[in-house]
Structure 1
Amino acid sequence: MTQTAPARRTEADPPASLWRNRNFLLLWTGQGMGTLGPRVALVAMPLLALEVLDASTFQVSLLTLLGWLPYLVFSLPAGVVADRLDQRRTMIACDLGRMLLLVSIPVASMTGWLSLTYLYVVVATTGTLTVLFTVAYRSQLPKLVGATQLVDANGKLGMSDALAEMGGPALAGLLVGLLGAARGLFANAATYGLSALTLGLIKVPAADRQGAAVARLPFRTAVTEGFAFVRREAVLRSLLLCTTVSNFFFIAASSVQVTFMSRELHASPAVIGLVFSCAAVGGLLAGAFANRLSNAIGSARIMWVSMLVPGPLYLLMPAAGPGWGLALFALGLAAFSANSTLFNTASLSYRQRVCPPDLLSRVSSVYLWISYGAVPLGSLLGGTLGATLGLRPTLWLCALGLWSAALFVVFSPLRAMRDTPGIPTEVEEKK
C-alpha cells in the first residue's frame, strides 16, 4: 500500500496537552456549537412547518430531504473550495451565513412573509454551508495539534457530536415550548454566532495556510485528485466502503426505529426520547476514552476491532420487548454509538495522517459524497422493508447489515497492523 506522509509544521510544536492548546479548545468550542445548531434545527424546522405553515406530512418530509441533499450535490465541490481558500475563514463565513439565514426565518414569520418555499430555500442553503463547514474543519485539525494527538482530538470532537445528538432534540423542544417554533430559531442562530466568534480567535501558523497550488489546477482535475488518492490507498478504500455500508444500514434502521418502539413496543414519546438519550451515552464514553483505547489496542487495529466486537449487541435492538425490554434497544443503540465514535475517531485520524495537507479537504469530500450519498437509499430501503416484511424483521436485517460492514476492515491491510505506519506513538515521542 502506498503511504504519503503529510508535510509537518515548521512552527513550534503544539502544547503536549490538548487542554493547554488554545487553538484546539477554540476549534472544539466552535465545532461543538456548529454541530449543535443542525441538531436543534432538525426538530425545530419540522415543528415550524407544522405549527406555523400547516404543512402536510409530505411537505415536512421534503425538509429532511433538502437537509441531506447538499451532501450528495455539493460535497465534491466543497472539497476543492476548502483546499483553495483559507479554511478557518471559510468556517467563519459558513457560520455567519447560517446565522443570518436562521435569523431571517423568525423575522419573516413576524412580518407575515414566511412561506414553505422560503423555508425550503433556507434549509437547502444552510445544508450547503454545513457541508462546506464540515469539510473545512476536518482539514483544519491537523494544523493545530500534533500527529500523536489526532486520535485524542478527534475523540473529543466526537464527544461534541454525541452531546449534540443527545441534547439537541431536547433543547429544540424546550426552545419551541418557551419561545414558539419561529422565535426559537433566534437561539439556534446564536450557536452559529458563538462558533464564528471562537473560530475567529484561532491563530493558524502562516506555514500551514494552503491553497495556491490547488488554485492553479482546473476544477475537474482538482476533484479527481481526491478520487485518485483514495483509489490508490487500499486502507482508505476499505474505510470508505465500511463507512458507507454502515451508514446505509443505520439509516435504514433509523427510518423504522421510532415506529417500532411506538407500535410494537407501545412506548410513549417521552420514553422513546429517553432511549435515544441513553444510547448517546455510549458515544460520549467512547469519545472520552478513545485515546486510551487507541494506545492500548493500536491506532490501526482499533478500526477493525471497534467494528467487529460490538456487532452482536446490535441484535439486541430487534430482540427488545415492551416495558423494561426497551432497555435492550437502548443498549444495542448505545453499542452502535460507541462503535461509531471509536471507528470515526480512528479512521478520521488515519486519513488526516496519510493525506497531504493540500489534498485532505478533497479526500474528505469524497468520503462525504459517497458515504452520505447512501443515506437516502438506506432510508428508502428501511421504509420499503418495514412496509412489506414488518418492523421487527427489518430491524433484524439492518442489525446484521450493520455488523457486516466490519468485513471491509477485517479483510484489509489493517488486520496486519497495530499502529498507523510512519507515526511515532506517544511513548516513543517521550523517549
Structure 2
Amino acid sequence: MMRRTEAKPPSLLRHRNFALLWASQSASLFGSQITYVAMPLTAVLLLHATPFEAGALLALGTLPFLLFGLFVGVMLDRRARRSVMIVADIVRAAALAWIPVGYVLDVLNVGQLFVVVFVVGLMAVFFDLAYQSYLPGLVGRDRLPEANGKLELSGSMAQVAGPGAAGLLVSALGAPVAIAVDAVSYVLSFFAAAALPADEAPKQQPGASALPVRAAIREGFAVIWRHPLLRWFTTAAVIINLFSGALMSVFFLYLIRVLGMGPTQVGLIVAIGSVGALAGALLVGRLTRRFGVGPTLILAMALPGLGYLVLAVVRGHSVAVIAIVAAASFVVQFSVPVFNVTVITFRQVTTPDELLGRVNATARTCALGAFSLGSLLGGAFASGAGLRTTVLLGAGGTFLAALALLLSPVRAVRRLEAPPADTASTSAEASGTTIQERTS
C-alpha cells in the first residue's frame, strides 16, 4: 500500500496578493540601494560634507525609528495597515524628487539633504512596520518563513544590482540625478501597494483600545522582555547596530579619503558585499537546519567583526586592496539576512495580531535607535580620533553581540517554532513551551 504524501503548496509568487507586495518591496528596495550609495556621495563629493555631517546624515535616516517608532506601533495596532503603506510611498517619492530638482536649480545644500533623509526615514517607519504587521494576515502565519525569505532574498538581489547601478549612474549623470531613480521606484511601489486588498483594523482584546498610549507602548516592551528569546535577540541587535552605526557613519569617507577610492570602486565594493547578503538569504534555511538556530545566529553576529577588522587594517586602493575590501564587505553582509529572516519570522509567528505592531516597533526602535546613536557618536569620534581609529573601534565592538548570544539561552536553541493557534493570544507571557531547544 502506497503512503500518501502531502502535496507541496505552490510558490508564494503565484499568490497574487503576495506577488504584489513582493513587487512593491522589490521596486522600492532597488531604488533605496541606489540612494544608499548616491546620497553620501552627493554629500561628500559635491557638498563637501565633514565627517560629523556624514555621520549625522546616516543617523537621520534611522533616527525617526527612535523618535516615533513606538507611537507608530501603537497606531498600527488600532487601524488598517495598507493605507499607511500607500501614503508612505507617496511622501517618500516626493521628498526624494527634490534632490535632483534642487541640484538642477543649483540650490542644493547639506541641510536639505538632512531634511530629505529624515522625511524618507520617517516614512520608512510607517511603511516597514505596516507591511510587517500586514504580512501575516496576507499569507497566513504558517507561510511566514517562506514569505520573509523571499522578501529578504529580493532585498539582497536589490543590494547586488543597486550599488553597481548607482556607481554607473553617479559616474555618468551625477549623484543627485541618480537619486531620481529611487523616487520613481516609490511611485512603482505605490501602484503595487494600492492594488493590494484592503485590510481591517486588528480586533482588540476587551479594554485594549482604551489603554493610554504609554501603557500600550509598555505592552510592546513587556512582550519582548518576558520572552526568553526575543529579549536576547533584541539585545544582540542593539549592540551590533550601535557599533555598526559608528563604523558605517564614516564608511564612505574612509573608502574615499583614506583608501583613495572613486565612485565606481565604491559602488563595486558595495555591490560585491551585497552578493554576500544574497548568499545569506539563500542559505539561511540550510544553515539553521544543519547547525541549529542558536549556533547559526552566534556565527552571524561574529562575522561582521571579522570583516570590519580587515577593513580597518588595509591600506591603499590597488586591485588587491579593492578585492580584499570587497571580500570583507561580503562577509559582513552575509550575516544580515541570516539574522533578519530568523528573528523577524519568529517575532511574527509568536505575537498575536493586536500586539504585532507594537512588538515590531519596539524591536526595530531599539535596534535602529542604537544605529542612529552609533552613527552620531561615530561621526563625532572620527572628527577627533580619525577615520581609521573609528573603523577599528566599530569592528571590535561588534563582537560583543556574538558574545551576548553565546552567554544566553540562544546558544542551545536548535529550532524556533510557532506556538499553537489557541495559545497565540498569550504570547505576551511567552514561555519556553514555544521553543524547541534541542533536536531529538
Amino acid at match of 1:153: A
Q: Tell me which of 288, 301, 304 is aligned to 1:307.
A: 301
1:130 paired with 2:124, answer yes
CA-to-aligned-CA distance 1:363-420 (integer Å, 9 cap, x gap): 1111222211122332344345546655555444432322221122222222232111
CA distance in 2, matches of 1:118, 1:394: 27
CA distance in 1, matches of 2:142, 2:397: 33
Change (3 A) 1:337 1:416: same
Residue 26 of structure 2 is matched in structure 1 by: 32
Change (3 A) 1:121 1:404: closer
Q: Tell me which of 279, 285, 290 is aligned to 2:279.
A: 285
Q: Residue 15 of structure 1 contacts residue 21 of structure 1 at CA under 8 Å; is this kept in 2?
A: no
CA distance in 1, matches of 2:39, 2:306: 36
Report sequence identity in percent. Answer: 36
Q: TM-score, normalised by structure 2?
A: 0.79
Residue 412 of structure 1 is matched in structure 2 by: 408
Residue 202 of structure 1 is matched in structure 2 by: 196
1:187 paired with 2:181, answer yes
Change (3 A) 1:198 1:268: closer
Q: TM-score, normalised by structure 1?
A: 0.80
Change (3 A) 1:330 1:40: closer
Amino acid at match of 1:225: E
What secondary structure is seen at the aligned counterpart in 1 of 2:416? coil
Q: Tell me which of 207, 213, 220 is aligned to 1:219.
A: 213
Q: Tell me which of 133, 155, 175 is aligned to 1:161.
A: 155
Q: Tell me which of 366, 371, 375 is aligned to 1:370.
A: 366
Q: Tell me which of 327, 335, 339 is aligned to 1:339.
A: 335
Residue 238 of structure 1 is matched in structure 2 by: 232
**1:5-16 → structure 2 map (5 Å cutoff):** 15-16=9-10
CA distance in 2, matches of 1:179, 1:379: 29
Residue 429 of structure 1 is matched in structure 2 by: none
Could you tell me how far 1:343 is from its partner in structure 2?
Answer: 0.8
Amino acid at match of 1:360: L
1:92 paired with 2:73, answer no
1:330 paired with 2:322, answer no
Q: Residue 301 of structure 1 contacts residue 419 of structure 1 at CA under 8 Å; is this kept in 2?
A: no
Residue 23 of structure 1 is matched in structure 2 by: 17
State the Cα RMSD in Å. Answer: 3.6
Aligned residues: 409
Residue 249 of structure 2 is matched in structure 1 by: 255
CA distance in 1, matches of 2:104, 2:392: 47
Q: Tell me which of 63, 71, 86 is aligned to 1:69.
A: 63
Amino acid at match of 2:220: G
Q: Which runs of 5+ in 2 are unaligned?
A: 1-7, 421-440
Residue 11 of structure 1 is matched in structure 2 by: none
Could you tell me how far 1:284 is from its partner in structure 2?
Answer: 0.6
What secondary structure is seen at the aligned counterpart in 1 of 2:340? helix
CA distance in 1, matches of 2:93, 2:12: 29
Change (3 A) 1:88 1:295: farther
CA distance in 1, matches of 2:97, 2:315: 43
Q: Residue 38 of structure 2 contacts residue 170 of structure 2 at CA under 8 Å; is this kept in 1?
A: yes
What secondary structure is seen at the aligned counterpart in 2 of 1:405? helix
Amino acid at match of 2:182: N
Could you tell me how far 1:184 is from its partner in structure 2?
Answer: 5.1
What secondary structure is seen at the aligned counterpart in 2 of 1:202? coil
CA distance in 1, matches of 2:186, 2:119: 15
Could you tell me how far 1:17 is from its partner in structure 2?
Answer: 2.4
CA distance in 1, matches of 2:59, 2:308: 27
Change (3 A) 1:199 1:109: same
CA distance in 2, matches of 1:216, 1:156: 37
Q: Residue 33 of structure 1 contacts residue 195 of structure 1 at CA under 8 Å; is this kept in 2?
A: yes
CA-to-aligned-CA distance 1:3-41 (integer Å, 9 cap, x gap): xxxxxxxxxxx9542232222222122122233344434
CA-to-aligned-CA distance 1:53-75 (integer Å, 9 cap, x gap): x6864777654443332122111
CA distance in 1, matches of 2:261, 2:110: 32
Change (3 A) 1:312 1:80: same
Q: Which runs of 5+ in 1 are unaligned?
A: 1-13, 425-431
Could you tell me how far 1:195 is from its partner in structure 2?
Answer: 0.8
Residue 136 of structure 2 is matched in structure 1 by: 142
Could you tell me how far 1:358 is from its partner in structure 2?
Answer: 1.3
What secondary structure is seen at the aligned counterpart in 2 of 1:210? coil
**1:93-112 → structure 2 map (5 Å cutoff):** 93-103=87-97
CA distance in 2, matches of 1:296, 1:366: 31
Amino acid at match of 1:283: A
